[in-house]
Every structure is written in structure tokens, then in C-alpha cells.
Structure 1
Amino acid sequence: MTPADPALAASLRGERAYHDLCRAALAAMIDGAQRHVVTGEDVSASGADAEVLGRRLRSLAKEMRELPEGPLFFGRLDFGRDARTAGDHAGQRYHVGRRRITEHPAAPPLVVDWRAPVSRAFYQASARDPQGVEVRRRFGWAPGSRGESADLTGLEDEHLGKEHLGKGRYGEERLGEGHLRDGGSEGSEGEPFQAPRARSRILASEIERPRVGPMRDIAATIQPDQDDLVRAGLAVSVCVQGAPGTGKTAVGLHRAAYLLYTHPQRLRRSGLLILGPNPTFLSYISQVLPALGETGVRQSTIGNEIAHELGIGIGIGIGTGTGPGEDDERAAVVKHDARMAEVLRRALYARVDPAAAGESGDLTVPDGSYHWRVPAHTLGRIVADVRAEEPPYAVGRERVRTRVVRYVQERAERRAGPRTNAWLQKVSRARPVGAYVDAVWPRARPQEVVAELLTDPAALAAAADGVLDADEQKALLWARPPRSWKSARWSAADLVLLDEVAGLIEHPAGYSHLVIDEAQDLSPMECRAIGRRAAFGSVTVLGDLAQGTTPWAAREWGELLAHLGKPEASVVPLTTGFRVPEAVVALANRVLARLDVAVPPGRSLRTDGELRIRRTDDVLHETVESVRRALTYEGSVGVITAGTDVVRVREALGAAGIEAADVDRLGARVTVLTAAVAKGLEYDHVVAVEPATIAEERGGGGGGRGLRRLYVVLTRAVSRLDVVHARPLPFE
């Protein structure tokens, strides 16, 4: 059928009118939320209750006002009338969107949230298993639509009911074919994109749509295997091993949105945290959850999370120096090693010294005119018993105090009967008791413990005996120690040491759920830091072992999950790509074959991409020409180079009149970036400059890490990839 078909025109008019109705209802919801804030201020309740109610109303009103503009629905479900298959939804029709819209709280919704149970059929129903659905409709919207009803340009029906079997995957009618979001281009090379469940050109158009700026949500295009992961229960921890372009990051973010929708009260109390590898990546994904109606979710790196909790700044991380604030690679590798946990535990508890009470060893506690004596052997037994229980350091300190007071209390009650709480507090605060506790179990600060370990060879040797060899201990010591721990400049690797000690002193506040992206690059000590925050919650771990580029990158998921404290988490592979074209995946698989990781080759369902390998004697000239060509297409252009080449590539582009931004400026048409920061980012067109230099660059490291970095670079392209080189390619 053509776009001019009367049936299509009538359907589009009806859906546009319905969208106008939904938009009016949403405006009323936003206005109503604001009115509730005003009336809530006058609510008749206790001060505390009124304050809680006011916060919730203001939060709701703020969320409603901050909803991004855009189409209000992307799909529709028409259920059959047979209650045996459709259940309570028999004969019902539901529009599916990013947020629930209703004309009245008690009225049936005009749009159901994509996370609602009924919406699952939109992602899971098939001709083999219709789940009561007769027709699944997808809507095509003009690119960049801000929600104007006129932007609804196409629709496509997939008939799933039994009466339609044998009429083709979509039945006899296929409304809107060729009239899609991109204007209905029919000239792409190869066969149309084959979705796992349906041959849907609207679905393909949405997945392949060019992008500039932050990452988009995929609520309209979630595939069945992705949906299974998104809707996993809150108590379930899962690890997603995702090949490039499989949507693992989007799956993790949509799972976060799903859990916030399904368990709002619990997650409001204990929180949900998104952890990414660097601030650039977090900026790139920052708009996904707000687009799904979820605002205020904390997104951070593990380093920033630790620094924030400890109230300290950080240095420059792994660098070329050896002083505080920067680490050479050798020192960083040792600091991130799991064995450091034992070294730090020893260093902390070496501060506990039962013999530090004084020459007599006995403790005399005043009680008015009377004095109680606690014998030295009793004090020693108290300290030894508490040490054996292995409580957090701060808890152990208070247990010593409590048991000393209890010893005195028992003797006082034998002499004069029960003691009051006021008496107990007086004894607990008595100066001799406090002095004794400070002497045998002194207070400890993480910064003080770690600084002593990294500046005092004797203290380090005692704590690391039998754990680290002499060379490893030497690598840890600061070459230029600060005057005191208060003036230390902490490196990125130091942060995990500080957090380990902080966790030994007192358990950190945890989260109900953590989403951890690019997890393959986490060190054992970073995993332990994250695990402490997930001790009583669950995790979604996202990553790709083939993209591990740190010196401590994981080689298999089991060990990493054990360090996280989640050895029971299931590892689910995603190998089918929807974003990266087949030609690009095939090239990346040639690099993958040279990596020592147990990862199956990726595959792609896209046959429309383009790969050009350009050998040249003038790399800069060919790079400029590749960018010029890329600019004749829609979408973003990423020029990825070794760090040593960034400046001259940007200058060459500038001399050719092409403005190129750095990676921090999201939304730029052309971006020049180093291979080191490319992970997790996507560009419609990528120009990879001199792969051999990227693979050999300092920081790429041995053991295949340079090739892994190149693997990352080659898989950032979601439409076209140009490889520009003068030197031999490292994968040939």
C-alpha cells in the first residue's frame, strides 16, 4: 500500500487526533500536579507528615514539568476477544508510551507505561505465541519530533491472531510501508533489516536513525531477549556479556527505569546508583532515564563516589610520575590487586594494642567516692574476644568500651542493686574508660592509615609480609611523601585503598540496586568497593570482556562477580547486534580472533552499513577527505586517533574549514577524540586514524590490551567506518 492509500490516511488521522487528546490530558496532569503542591501546603496533618507530603508532591510536579518533549506513544496493542487467551484484556486496545497518561486517576489510561505488565506483550508477542494480541501496531514519527501530532508520518500493523496466519507476517494489510521516520527511503543497499520477531521497517528505521548528541532510550525498539533482562526482578543480580551494538548499556538503563517503576517505595528509601567508567560516558547516557520519566537518579564513577563520601579531592590518576596524586602503572597494578585488602586489614588492626594501657595494666574507674578496678587480664580477654569477632573497626572499639562498662556494672549491681541508664552513661564517659579505649583501640581515619602504609617502609613490610614481595612493596611507597596525610594528593588507585579501609572501619550505606557499566575494566579492589555498596542489594553488571583495556581487566566474569560479592549472578550473553553494521562487525571479529578472551564472535542483523579501508601516504589529507565525505550524510562523525595524533588531526581539519569539537562537547557534528575515551560512545560515521599507532600507544599495554583498544575503536561506528592508514594494519 502507498502512503496515499485511503485506509492509511484514515488511520493516520485517527491516531493524530488521539495523540492530540493525549497531549491535552498530559497538560492537565502537569497542571494538576502543580495545584496539588499548593493545596498540599495547607493539608491538615502533623508537621512531619505535612513536610513528607509536600516533598512528594513537589517532586512529582517537578518530574512532570521536566518530562522531555516528544511523541507520547510509539506502539499499540489490540487484544482479541477470546478471554481464554487475552484474559482481562480481551477486546481491549492500549497505546504504549514512555509514561502513563490519563484524563483522571480513576479512569482507564489513554497511554500505558512501557513498563506496565500489559505492555510486555508489545515486546514479547509473536505469531507463534500471540499472548492474546491480534494486532501490534508501530508508529513512525518524523526525526527529532517534539510531539506535534502532524509528525506522525507512518504506521505499521503486525497481525498475530490465529485468523491471520497464512496471510503473511503482517496479514494482507501492511499500513505505512515505505512511509517511515526517515521519509520513506527505499534505496538502501541489501535486504531490509530483519528484526528477531518481525520484519518491521519502522523498527529498523528507529534503530538505524542517525544520531547527534546524547544516547537515546530504546523503549520503542526493545527486543525479546533484551526485555527479559529489563524485567528481571529486583532481587536478581545479572551480568550481561554484550558484544558491540547489542544494546547492553540501554538494557541496563531500562532495567533501572523498570525497577524504579515497579518498586518505587523501596528504591526511594535505599536508592539506585548508576556507575560508569568516566564523566564523558555519564554525560552521554544522562538523558536516557529522564526521557523515560525517571529523574534524580544518581549517576557517578566509583572514584567520584568514594571521593564524595570521604570528602576528598583526587589527583590525576595513572600518570608518569611516582609521587602522591599520580601513579606509574606498576604501582597502580599493585594497588588494584585483591591482595591489598589483606595488607590494609593488617595495617588497620595493627593499631589495636592491648599492652598500651600503661605499666600497671589495671583500669580504675571512679564511681562517686568509690573506685572500681578492672584487672589487666580481664581487659586483655575483652580486647581479644572483640578482635576474634571481627566486627567493623569502629564497632569493635565501642564493643570494648561497652564490655568494660558491663564488667563494672555487674560488680556494682552485686554491691548496691540495679544501675540506671544515667549511671551507665556516666561510667561510659568516665575519663579513664575513654583513655583506655583510645590507647588500646584508637580511632582511625582511612587517610591516616593509607598514608602511613605508603610512606613508612617498616609499617608496609609488617602489613605486607607474605602477601607482597619486595618489588611490589617498593612500587607502593611514595617517592616524595607529603608532610602529613592531610596534605596528600590521592591518586585514582589510592581511592580504592581508602575505601577498603573505610569499609573496614564502618560499613558504607548501601543501595537496593546498582547498574555497573563497562564492568570488564574494573579491578578487584574496585569491585570490592562496589560490592560493599551492594551488600544487601542486587546488581546489573554490563560489559564485554573483549573491550577490557585496563591492566587489571577481567578475563572471565566468574572472578569479577566473586569480588563484587555476587557469585550467584547469572551471566547472559548478547551476541546479536542491532546498531553496528555487519561489515563493521566482520572487521572487528578479525581483531577479536587475536584477543585472548573467551568471547564468541559478534553478529549483526544490519546489512546496510559501509566499510572503507584507505591506505595512503598522506594520512592527514585522507582523514580530512573522509570527514568531508562523512558530512554528506546525516548523523555524527567521530574521528578517533591515538592520543599523540589528536592535536595535528584537529588542526588539519581546522585548516580545511571543518570545525571539530573535543569529546566533552556532546551534540557536535564532528568530534575528534582519543581511543582511550571512545569506549561506550557511538557515532554514525567513524574515521579510525592509523590503527597501528592506536594499538601501540603508551597505555595500550601488553597482553593484547592495545588490540583490545583498537577493537573498541572499530566498533564505535553505527553506519559507516573509514579506516585510514599508512602503516600495515595490525589485524592483517
Structure 2
Amino acid sequence: MVDVGVARERPREGMSVLENHVTSSVQRKGNGHMPTQGYEEELRSERDYVAGLYTRLDAERARAKDQYSAALRGRDGTAMEREDQVRALGKAVQRLEVADNGLCFGRLDTLSGERSYIGRIGLYDEQNEFEPLLLDWRAPAARPFYVATAANPENMRRRRQFHTRGRQVLDFTDEVLGRPDDGERGDAALLAAVNAPRGEGMRDIVATIQAEQDEIIRLEHPGVLVIEGGPGTGKTVVALHRVAYLLYTQRERMERQGVLVVGPNPAFLNHIAHVLPSLGETNVVFTTAGELVPGLRVTAEDTPRAARLKGSLKILEVLAAAVADLQRLPEEPVLIELADVTVRIDAATAEWAREEARGSGRPHNEAREVFREIITYVLTERAIARIGKDWLTRDDREAWEQLREDLVDELAEHAGFAAALDELWPIMTPEEFLAQLYSSPERLRAAGADEALGRADGDAWTVSDVPLLDELIDLLGRDKPVDQSAERERRAEAEYAAGVLDVMVSREDMMDDEDHLFAQDLLYAEDLAERFLERDTRDLAERAAADRDWTYRHVVVDEAQELSEMDWRVLMRRCPGKSFTVVGDLAQRRSVAGATSWETMMAPYVPGRWVYRSLTVNYRTPAEIMSVAAGVLAEFAPDVAPPESVRACGVQPWSRRVTAGELPAAIEEFVRDEAGREGTSIVIGPPGVPGTVPASATKGLEFDAVLVVEPQQILADGPRGAAELYVALTRATQRLGVLHQGPLPHSLTGLTEIGAPVSAGNSL
């Protein structure tokens, strides 16, 4: 945040109009025309109050830790109840642990003179639990801190913002509200945040949420919320703060199932991973679309044509036809030689069994049991008729049933019969099935599939394969149905053991020192529990991430414009309640199978249950850089208005033309110069250029300085090259440079061409 001393100084040259307005606004309103002595006294008072909040926080933290330790040793209630209590108290401790940094960041004064302090969590008076000492930023009473303006003060007289370091209040700035002639909110804290050098990860914006963002964060909509915004509008961080808000207002329901956050790549997930924990929320699973099937490893990339085919819902017809093609009829009767007779599986028998199996409604692997039962019935009937034709009648029921039982047992152990079943109705995992389909032109033709789906290495998985494999889990079913009954038996034994242990522990208090028999019983119960009760000690996020069948209370999807129709089918399956926060920008779409409109993607799943909100203010990209990117945007998306930047940085983006031999040295020079500066930097270029990363790998990320290499090649690389270049240009928060060998694209304007080598003396 900007401190009062800095705010009183003369604005530096190169400041934006908004920065100059904020500086003069804080100078004019900064401490309400408070004399220096009065300001110092007020600052001491605020420091004392915040110090008291930290004392209260420490006491709450100590109390929570004591309760947690006691719960670990406790014996009241059932084992499950004790486990739930331990986990709940553990989460309470975690929330208190993250509150140290920026515990209190502001104060609101009402027209009637009441004061409310706003912070990262809520704290209450120890003697009066209904008396708030600190309001949680998500509480309804804290909302004016984010939305009140001079023209619309929300019944507030003053908004005070603290500048802190650790537990110390360094200074504060005030805004006196209710003066329409003073204009809109001059947010020194916001400008300090957007101008600050970038770190390794995204920061929360809990102290600087803007009114446009706050409205979306607090939106009470039970269905799908689509948030669209251009680069730098803060749509990702708004979505994450919305999750924190929902966890605050619906904690019991949300925590039982958790939240899933889906991002475009691992680098992006690493970038945002700290935001929710910093707000005290941990029941969140972070994943990419390529990781939605646990244990699968994506190693390849589809051609655009294959990606488009796999992303369309029409692929469902191909998968269903390919599964049906597995369920075959014998071209010639299959002979099964038993001990006393030879029987055969003919096409008519297999067809009857196939119809019964398909009619069962079970997935393919599970329906095989129906297929096997029908085949077994027919073969045993035929065998009995031939074996007992001279001596056995149906009136001899006992002998008939005994012979049937013997034949059923013989078929169950018969290798030839098992091989026939595997040929006519094979059990397959989704991975085996899809790998064989891709590598077999014959099977692709039989399923009516496009030849573009074929590939030699069938199990070289791509991101587009993930929704198909997920679909096949339901089409094929589990590959070992018998294991499910075994798992049910194991769980039943575990529950029984837990019950025995609970009973024994509840009686332990009645045991005296000489009751050795009971002590032995107790040890037996503990041993039983250790043998059978394999308690899952993983936290919710770990359990959910490893379980394909886990369903979430809420799902956040970032860079959602890249998801295909099949991707959405997977995600909707993960959230039966259809509670989503969807974040994206159609203008940045790279995937050929991605969204061209939100209506197309949402209507099949949540007709009438999705709402759209847009973010229009660019908090990240300075005006100088955004004007360059806007030229590219106008070229490929002329109907899309670029977001309006809130600031200028005073540094003009530059370009430099180099030869092929000069390019590596120019890249190295940029990297070397930026290494000596505070903040982060990156070099973005087309595939194949050493020392660069593709724009697609930087989606959602931000850097202080960006060097874009060979923009013309980026434009030429695929059908969405213009969107790639737009993404590359809008990653920078301070400095942007461009290196090019040929002429610059005509859409790339507003760059200052420099001829001298790039160095620290140039305006980078």
C-alpha cells in the first residue's frame, strides 16, 4: 500500500492520470485534514488496537491447539465422531495459522460514529462472543469496504486502509465518503498492489477487491456463473475469492465434498495454489483437464483435426459403436470339450446371450456376467440332454440338479470356455480399449470413426483422450466386478471392528486395575481394529484427487474457453449439483475444440441456470502495453473491446530487428538484464526457438517483463496464432520487448523500434 508520506510527495513524472488523481485525492483526503500531531496520536491508537487483535488471535490459536491435542487423546463418542472432530479442529487451527499476514487491513466508520475493523478472518470479544472485534472480509457488514464510493457511501463516513508489515501498522490513509464532488474511490492500496513487482505466485486481493469484482464474488447464484474478462481483469483471483466466500457462507455443505479447481497447465496451478490457503481454505483439489482421470499420464498432442473430433459430442456415437463391436458372434461354432460330452457355442446361442446382456442395462464388463450365465445355461441344458438321454428324466429332480451343478462347476474351470468368453465378450479397461481402437484401422471403420483418430502408438495419451477414457469408465464398467463384492466385505469387517473397539473403549472407564480379563478384551479389540480397520487418514483433497467417482460441491474452471464439449461432460459428471464458477475469455481461445459461445457449452447441461458477468477493467496491463495488444485483438476479434487499463507505467514497449545470428545473444542479454531487477520475467516465442516458452504455457500468468520473440511465426503457427500472440503480449505488468527477424506483423503497432543492443540503459 502507499503510505501517507509518499502520498504527500509530488507525483513522479510518468504517472498515469489515475495515479495522479489518487495521489492528489489521498493528499486532499488522506487523513481528513488531520494535523500531524493528531495523525500520530491516531496512528498510535490504531497500532494498539491491532496489537490487541493479534493478542486475541494468539489466544484463539492456543485454545484451538489445546482442543486439537485433547481431541487426539479423547475417547468420547464413536471412532468416526472422534475422527470428524479431530479433522474439524485441525482445519480451525490451519485457518488461524494463515491469519498473521495482513490480519487487519482496514476500518469503516458509519455516519452514526460506529467503527468496524475489516480483516482476513473474524475475531470476537472473549467475554462477549457476539461482539466482533474484527469483521471477516466476507461478512455482509464488510461489503461497504469494497463498494462504497464518494457518490454512493453506503451509509459510511470514512474508509481507512492500513499499511502493514508483519504485525506492525506502518501508517494509514483515509477516504472521507459522502462527497459526490470528490469523484470515485481513489484507491492508493490498489495502485500499490498492481505496481508492485511480481513474485513466484498469485497473491490474494482481499485488501484491494474492487466494487466490480466484489459484486461477482458475493453473487448468490446456485447454478453456473460465467465470468468473462480480458487480460489483467482479475477474473482468476475473483473466482478464487468467490470460492472462499462460498466456503464462508456455506461451509458445512461445501466442506463435506470440497471444491475442484481446473486450470490450463501445471505452471498456472502452481501460480494460483497459494491464494486459497492464504485465505484459510484447504479442502480444494487443483488439477488440469489432463489429470481428471487419476493415474493417467498425458505424453502426446493431437493434431487439430483429431482434437476437434474427440472434443465433439459426436464421438459418443463412435465409442458406443466400438463397445458394441466388442460383443461378437462366432463365425463358426465354438466347440467346448467337457469330460463326458462336447458342446458348442453357435451364433444363435451367442446372439440370445448378447441380447440379454445388452438388455440388462449394465456396463459392458459387468454385463458379461449375464452373457456368461445365458451361455452356461444353454450349454448345460444341451449337455444334460445328451448325457442323460437314456436314463435321466426331469422327474428325477435331485439327479438333474446335481448333474447341472457339476457341469456348471466344470465350465467355470474350463480353459476353453474362458477363452471363448474372452473372444466373444472380452473384459477390457478403458485404456486397453481405446489404445486398441486407435491402433486398429479395422475397428475404427467398424465404429464409423474418422481415420484421423488412428495412430500407431495407441496408448500415447493426449489431453483430448481424457474425457473419452472417463466416458469409457461408465460404458465399460469396472474391469474386476468381483473385487467390488470383496471390497464391500472388507468394509463391513472394518465397520464391525470399529464398533467393537468403540464399545470396548466406552467401557474402559469402568475397568479397575485388577480387571485383567477386560483389559485382554480391550487389547483384542484394538488388534481387531488394526487388522481390519484401515482408516483413510488422507485429507479430503487427497482422497478426492485420487477418486474418479468423487463428486464436488463446487467446481471452478479457468481458461474455460479451451474446454471442449466432451470436457464439459466430464466436469458436469463431477458436480451433480451443477454449481460452477466458470472463468474465461473467448478472444483468447486457442483450442479448435474450445468454446465459440458460452450458450453452446452451458445450455445442454444447465438450461436457464447459468448467468453471465463481465469484468471490464484491466488491473495488470499498463495502457502502453495494452494499446499494442489491442491492435492484434482488433485484427482477429474486431467485435471484442479490450479491457481498459487503470494505469500507465511510463515505459514504452520496444521492438528490435535482429539477424538469425544475433537472436540468441539478444535473448540472453534480456534475461541477464532482467535477472538484476526485482520481479519476474519470461521469454515467449514460437515452438522450436531455443530459450523461449510457448504462449499457451503462460496463460493466466503474469510477469514484470516479457520478451516476445518472432511474433510473425507465432501468428503463423496454427489457426489460433493471433490469440496466442495476444496472450503473449498481455502477460507483462511493466515492460514489454519484441525481437523479430522479418518485418513486424502489420497489426503490431505502437512499438518503439530500437537499433542499439538491448541493455540496462534502454527503456525496457
TM-score (norm 1): 0.73
Contact kept? 1:68, 1:290, Cα under 8 Å? no
1:148 match = 167
Aligned pair partner of 2:736 in 714, 721, 725: 721
Structure 2 Cα separation of the partners of residues 452 and 616 of structure 1: 50
Aligned residue identity for 2:464: A
* 1:119 aligned onto 2:151: no
1:49 match = 81
Structure 1 residues 572 and 133, CA, compared in 2 at 3 Å: closer, same or farther?
Answer: same
Structure 1 residues 632 and 127, CA, compared in 2 at 3 Å: closer, same or farther?
Answer: same
* 1:610 aligned onto 2:648: no
**Count of residue correspondences:** 593
Which runs of 5 or more residues in structure 2 are unaligned?
1-26, 336-348, 376-404, 478-547, 749-764
Which aligned pairs between 1:323-362 and structure 2 lie closer than 5 A? Answer: 327-351=302-326
Aligned residue identity for 2:272: I
Contact kept? 1:614, 1:725, Cα under 8 Å? yes
* Secondary structure at the counterpart of residue 115 of structure 1: coil
* Secondary structure at the counterpart of residue 284 of structure 1: helix
Structure 1 Cα separation of the partners of residues 330 and 671 of structure 2: 72
- Give a deviation string over 1:610-648, Cα, whole Å, max 9, x none: 33223334555555665676567643233323343333x
Contact kept? 1:74, 1:220, Cα under 8 Å? yes
- Give a deviation string over 1:37-72, Cα, whole Å, max 9, x none: 12223252233322221222233224433x164221
1:515 match = 556
Contact kept? 1:546, 1:599, Cα under 8 Å? yes
Aligned pair partner of 2:118 in 85, 96, 107: 96
- Give a deviation string over 1:403-442, Cα, whole Å, max 9, x none: 99xxxxxxxxxxxxxxxxxxxxx9xx99999999989987
- Give a deviation string over 1:176-208, Cα, whole Å, max 9, x none: xxxxxxxxxxxxxxxxxxxxx412223322233
- Give a deviation string over 1:528-552, Cα, whole Å, max 9, x none: 2222212323111111112122332
1:686 match = 706
2:623 match = 582
Structure 1 residues 94 and 313, CA, compared in 2 at 3 Å: closer, same or farther?
Answer: same
1:500 match = 471
Contact kept? 2:290, 2:462, Cα under 8 Å? no
* Secondary structure at the counterpart of residue 110 of structure 1: strand
Aligned residue identity for 1:447: E
2:271 match = 284
Which aligned pairs between 1:632-651 and structure 2 lie closer than 5 A? Answer: 634-647=678-691
Structure 2 Cα separation of the partners of residues 537 and 299 of structure 1: 18
Structure 1 residues 509 and 54, CA, compared in 2 at 3 Å: closer, same or farther?
Answer: closer
Structure 2 Cα separation of the partners of residues 403 and 128 of structure 1: 79
* Secondary structure at the counterpart of residue 237 of structure 2: helix
Contact kept? 1:98, 1:291, Cα under 8 Å? no
1:707 match = 722
Structure 1 residues 276 and 359, CA, compared in 2 at 3 Å: closer, same or farther?
Answer: same
* Secondary structure at the counterpart of residue 109 of structure 2: strand
* 1:75 aligned onto 2:106: yes
* Secondary structure at the counterpart of residue 341 of structure 1: helix
- Give a deviation string over 1:354-405, Cα, whole Å, max 9, x none: 999x999xxxxxxxxxxxxxx9999788656545xxx76678779999999x
2:131 match = 108
* 1:317 aligned onto 2:340: no
Contact kept? 2:104, 2:120, Cα under 8 Å? yes
- Bigger radius of gyration among the two: 2
Aligned pair partner of 2:434 in 419, 428, 450: 450
Structure 1 Cα separation of the partners of residues 352 and 657 of structure 2: 82
* 1:33 aligned onto 2:4: no
Contact kept? 2:94, 2:280, Cα under 8 Å? no
Cα deviation, residue 347, structure 1: 1.9
Structure with the bigger RCO (C-alpha within 8 Å, sep 6+) is 2
* 1:461 aligned onto 2:502: no
Aligned residue identity for 2:621: V
2:155 match = 132
Cα deviation, residue 675, structure 1: 2.6
Structure 1 residues 433 and 604, CA, compared in 2 at 3 Å: closer, same or farther?
Answer: farther
- Give a deviation string over 1:259-308, Cα, whole Å, max 9, x none: 111111112222210111111110111111111111241111121121x1
* Secondary structure at the counterpart of residue 652 of structure 2: strand
- Give a deviation string over 1:89-119, Cα, whole Å, max 9, x none: xx53211112123353825232211111111
Which runs of 5 or more residues in structure 1 are unaligned?
82-90, 170-196, 319-326, 361-374, 405-425, 482-487, 648-671
Which aligned pairs between 1:363-382 and structure 2 lie closer than 5 A? Answer: none
Contact kept? 2:353, 2:374, Cα under 8 Å? no
- Give a deviation string over 1:564-620, Cα, whole Å, max 9, x none: 666742232222212211121111110001114753232212133533223334555
Structure 1 residues 56 and 348, CA, compared in 2 at 3 Å: closer, same or farther?
Answer: same
* Secondary structure at the counterpart of residue 162 of structure 2: strand
Cα deviation, residue 498, structure 1: 0.9
Structure 1 residues 633 and 8, CA, compared in 2 at 3 Å: closer, same or farther?
Answer: farther
* Secondary structure at the counterpart of residue 689 of structure 2: helix
Structure 1 residues 132 and 628, CA, compared in 2 at 3 Å: closer, same or farther?
Answer: same
TM-score (norm 2): 0.70
Cα deviation, residue 255, structure 1: 0.9
Q: Which moved more, 1:210-219 or 1:34-43?
A: 34-43
* Secondary structure at the counterpart of residue 492 of structure 1: coil
Percent identity, aligned pairs only?
Answer: 34
Structure 1 residues 609 and 99, CA, compared in 2 at 3 Å: closer, same or farther?
Answer: farther
Structure 2 Cα separation of the partners of residues 317 and 402 of structure 1: 41
Structure 1 residues 120 and 501, CA, compared in 2 at 3 Å: closer, same or farther?
Answer: same
Aligned residue identity for 2:51: D
2:455 match = 478
Q: For the aligned residues, what is the CA RMSD? A: 3.7
